[in-house]
Amino acid sequence: MKIATKIFKLSIIIALLVYNKECKSNPDYTLFMKNTIDTSAAAKELLEKGDLIVHNPFMPEDTNSIEWIKSKDNLKKITDVINSNSDPVNAKFLAIMVLKNNNSDYFLTMNKDLLIKYVVQALLNNYTGYYSDWGFKGNYSDPSFGGTTRLKDEDFGAVGAFFLSAGDSALPELLKLLDNSTPVNYNVYGVEKKGDPHKVWYPRPDLWKTLRIKDFAALYISGIKNYEIRFDISASKRDEQISKMMQELKIK
């Protein structure tokens, strides 16, 4: 009995070791790992301050976190997170947001292709926790509010606006996403805060319920190329609008 027990325990250990090796060889392994042995101190700091970085970059009450985020002394540490082979992608994404919002001159000197790939992964996995951060929060597509097709900054989302700053360099990755019809569970940051004085958007649950990844890609492409487009509530009509945009822009 004792021998059988030992053999059973040994088989479990071997199975775990094999599973762990297979996981680490998978590039997606680090996506949801926040505090692993290999995670750097700077990456842990970023993950702890994630909500502040994305949603409240100017929160005066969290003075220590603001100082850490804005400190030029941490510039190399934050950059090292992006270039790290072991830090998780969600930490890399937060590092990119910090540099974009607080060190724009330095941000412009970085490898755009690498940054774009990390932000695309963040979009696909909704690392911010709210798809409103990625766009479609405005009223531009609602005829009852004028139905304008001229997009405003807030329509791209605080995080989605990254792709506009990347410009044409983001097009190759965004074009790939046009084939992704995966629906998103659209949610809005701060929607529960009634009487929010900063609320300059109109709820669009009819549109939000039918949004897909490809719609976000089309949104960013339209912004990069300054193309006027209306996003219809109907997904099939949106597909027609997107196809028309791509034909007229001649970039696919």
Rounded to an integer, what distance in angstroms lies between the CA atom of residue 187 and that of residue 185?
A: 6
Domains of the chain, by residue range, sit at 47-110, 115-252
- What Rg do the C-alpha atoms of the chain give, in angstroms? 21
Quickly count: other Cβ atoms within 10 Å of residue 96's Cβ.
Answer: 25
Banded model confidence at residue 60, pLDDT cuts 50, 70, 90: low
Over the stretch 150-163, which tens digit does the pLDDT of each residue have?
A: 455 567 888 998 99
* Neighbouring C-beta atoms of residue 239, cutoff 10 Å: 17
Summarised one tens digit per residue, pLDDT across range 180-207 is 999 999 988 765 444 444 444 556 778 8
| Backbone φ and ψ of 132, nearest 5° | -65, -20
- From the list 28, 29, 27, 81, the residue with the least C-alpha distance to 53 is 81
Contact 81/97 with Cβ under 8 angstroms? no
Q: Is 231 helix (H, G, I), strand (E, B) or coil?
A: coil
Contact predicate 89/96, CB 8 Å: no
Q: Say how many C-beta atoms besides its own lie within 10 A of residue 44's C-beta.
A: 16
Look at residue 67 in the predicted model and tell me its pLDDT: 77
Report the distance separating Cα 44 and Cα 199, nearest Å.
Answer: 32
Average pLDDT over residues 107-112: 84
Supply the pLDDT for residue 110. Answer: 86
